[in-house]
Structure 1
Amino acid sequence: MYTKDKTKEEILAFINNWGGETFAKTLEIQFTDIDLENETLTATMPVLPRIHQPFGIMHGGASCVLAETMGSSLSNIFIDGEKYYGVGTNINTNHLRSKKDGLVTAVARFIRKGRSMHVSEIEIRDEKDQLVSHTTMTNTIINR
């Protein structure tokens, strides 16, 4: 998706319905904001028992899925999707705080946005704005 000449609302509607039935939809990830000037993307995900690990807290894999969804979406929003697409090539997540229920909010931003590689940072926070996890992700931008 290329954001030039698209409104914030058009972009959010597109990415919230991107690809039909996806892992993001299974986890109820909802994109809530995009800042086109600062190139950031925000989404929420409910913390429900189905994404818990056996100890009753959010599975680290769920945090990674949210983070990768954010990093990949951020890259693909800010490139010409008719010519290129961004694919994840590395992800590193530090789980900093456990979460049993409620809602987490993820914000993705670029650390580096080059022609052939994007590196993004994704912070996942709870309702008290406490950092739950921190991720860095690399996407390679390849020709279609």
Structure 2
Amino acid sequence: MKGQTKEELLEFINNWGDVTLAKTLEIKFIDVDIENETLTATMPVLPRVHQPFGILHGGASCVLAETLGSSLSNIFIDGTKYYGVGTNINSNHLKSKKDGIVTATARFIRKGKTMHVSEIEIRDEKGQLINHTTMTNNIINR
């Protein structure tokens, strides 16, 4: 997806696929920094993403993190030749969240030819760290 503007990339990834888990959870990509290779998205914390105790389900945080990590890899490779596919995720849930919006930002820790490792931080409206995730993607031929 090289050669596209920030706005074109955001438009593309916000409309990627018809019915996806990211759309079901209302994940919205809000920023892509082409120079620093980061990607940012938001997700509302509503009862549908709660666990039984009324707080953000760790699985929903993992979905947000994996959505960002996978998308980060896929927008910074030649999509006509390769796919970035998730192979490992390690997620630490650090603080609970009942409502509002969380914002996640993904960045590369390592960006190789066949493997990407990314770090995803999920924060609340006050900037407090809710979740820290690392994710590995293998870059495979189409």
TM-score range normalised by the length of the shorter chain: over 0.9
TM superposition score normalised by structure 1 = 0.98
**After the TM superposition, which residues 20-99 of structure 1 pair with which residues of structure 2 at under 5 Å, given as runs?**
20-99=18-97
1:18 counterpart SS class: coil
Residue identity matched to 2:62: C
1:13 is aligned, of 6, 11, 14, to 11
Does residue 109 (structure 1) correspond to residue 68 (structure 2)? The answer is no
2:72 counterpart SS class: helix
Residue identity matched to 2:30: T
**After the TM superposition, which residues 119-130 of structure 1 pair with which residues of structure 2 at under 5 Å, given as runs?**
119-130=117-128
1:131 is matched with which residue? 129
Residue identity matched to 1:110: F
Cα offset for 1:38? 0.1
Residue identity matched to 2:40: T
Structure 1 stretches of 4+ with a deviation exceeding 6 A read none
Residue identity matched to 2:141: N
Q: Matched residues in 1 for 2:138 and 2:93: separation?
A: 24
Q: Matched residues in 1 for 2:18 and 2:72: separation?
A: 18
Cα offset for 1:119? 0.1
Q: Matched residues in 1 for 2:16 and 2:100: separation?
A: 25
TM superposition score normalised by structure 2 = 0.99
Superposition CA RMSD, Å: 0.4
2:48 counterpart SS class: helix
Q: Matched residues in 2 for 1:112 and 1:21: separation?
A: 30
5+ long unaligned stretches in structure 2: none
Cα offset for 1:20? 1.1
5+ long unaligned stretches in structure 1: none
Residue identity matched to 1:101: D
Q: Matched residues in 2 for 1:44 and 1:100: separation?
A: 15
